[in-house]
Chains A and B, each alone.
Chain A
Amino acid sequence: MTDNVSLGMPQLPAPAYPADVRARLEEDAKAIIDRYPGSRSALLPMLHLVQAEEGHVTRTGMRFCADVLGLTTAEVTAVATFYTMYRRRPSGDYQVGVCTNTLCAVMGGDAIYEELKEHLGVDDKGTTDDGKITLEHIECNAACDFAPVVMVNWEFFDNQTPESARKMVDDLRAGRTVEPTRGAPLCTFKETARILAGFPDERPGAVAATGGAGPASLVGLRLAKGETPQQTRIVHPRGESAGQEGE
Chain B
Amino acid sequence: MTLAAEINSSSPEKLLSPVLSAFWDQPDSWTLETYERHDGYRGLRKALAMSPDDLIAYVKESGLRGRGGAGFPTGMKWQFIPQGDGKPHYLVVNADESEPGTCKDIPLLFANPHSLIEGIVIACYAIRSSHAFIYLRGEVVPVLRRLHEAVREAYAAGYLGTNVLGSGLDVELTVHAGAGAYICGEETALLDSLEGRRGQPRLRPPFPAVAGLYACPTVVNNVESIASVPAILHRGKDWFTSMGSEKSPGFTLYSLSGHVASPGQYEAPLGITLRQLLDMSGGMRPGHRLKFWTPGGSSTPMFTDEHLDVPLDYEGVGAAGSMLGTKALQCFDETTCVVRAVTRWTEFYAHESCGKCTPCREGTYWLVQLMRDIEAGEGEMADLDKLADIADNINGKSFCALGDGAASPIFSSLKYFREEYEQHITGKGCPFDPAKSTAWADNHKEVTA
Contact = CB atoms under 8 A, between A and B. Distances in A.
A16 interface: no
A135 interface: no
Contacts of A144: 100-103, 255, 257-258, 263, 328, 330
A141 B139 contact: yes
A143 interface: yes
Contact of A147 (B30, B141, B257, B341): B257
A201 B105 CA distance: 21
A220 B99 contact: no
Contacts, number: 303
Report, as a range, how many residues of chain B touch the other chain: 35 or more
A120 interface: no
A123 to B, nearest CB: 17
Contact of A207 (B146, B180, B199): B146
Interface residues of A, number: 90
Contact of B196 (A43, A97, A208, A226): A43
B340 A106 contact: yes
A180 interface: yes
A213 B262 contact: no
Nearest to B27: A212
A133 to B, nearest CB: 17
A206 to B, nearest CB: 6
Contacts of A222: 25
Nearest to A82: B198
Contacts of B446: 235, 244, 246-247
B18 interface: yes
A83 B100 contact: no
Contact of A141 (B140, B175, B179): B140
A37 B131 contact: yes
A58 interface: no
B214 A38 contact: yes
B344 A231 contact: no
A213 B336 CA distance: 29
Contact of A154 (B17, B138, B264): B138
Q: Which of A138, A145, A159, A220 has the most CB of B within 10 A?
A: A220
Contacts of B214: 37-38
A143 B262 contact: no
A224 interface: yes
Contacts of B285: 233
Say whether chain A's binding surface is mostly helix, strand, loop, or mixed: loop
Nearest to A38: B214
Contacts of A108: 437-440
B97 interface: yes
B344 A213 contact: no
Contact of A229 (B1, B97, B142, B195): B1
Interface in B84-112: 88, 97-103, 105-107, 110-111
Nearest to A234: B439
A224 B196 contact: no
B367 interface: no
Contacts of B8: none
Contact of A212 (B25, B193, B254, B352): B25
B101 A140 contact: yes
A140 B106 CA distance: 12
A48 B178 CA distance: 9
B12 A184 contact: no
Interface in A72-92: 78-79, 82-86
Contact of B138 (A102, A140, A196): A196
A224 to B, nearest CB: 4
A103 B139 contact: no
Q: Which of B17, B30, B88 has the most CB of A within 10 A?
A: B30
A146 B26 CA distance: 20
A145 B103 contact: yes
B16 to A, nearest CB: 4
9 contacts: A48-B177, A82-B354, A106-B437, A195-B148, A212-B25, A217-B107, A219-B266, A235-B443, A246-B446
Interface of B: 1, 12-13, 16-18, 21-22, 24-30, 88, 97-103, 105-107, 110-111, 131, 137-142, 144-146, 148-149, 152, 174-182, 193-199, 214, 254-259, 261-268, 280-282, 285-286, 298, 328, 330, 332, 336, 340-341, 344-345, 348, 351-352, 354, 434-435, 437-440, 443, 445-446, 449
Interface of A: 35-38, 40-45, 47-48, 69, 78-79, 82-86, 97, 100-103, 105-108, 110-111, 138-148, 151, 153-156, 159, 161, 180, 182-184, 192, 195-198, 200-201, 206-210, 212-226, 228-233, 235, 244, 246-247
The 6 closest A-B pairs by CB, nearest first: A220-B266, A219-B264, A43-B196, A83-B179, A183-B142, A85-B180
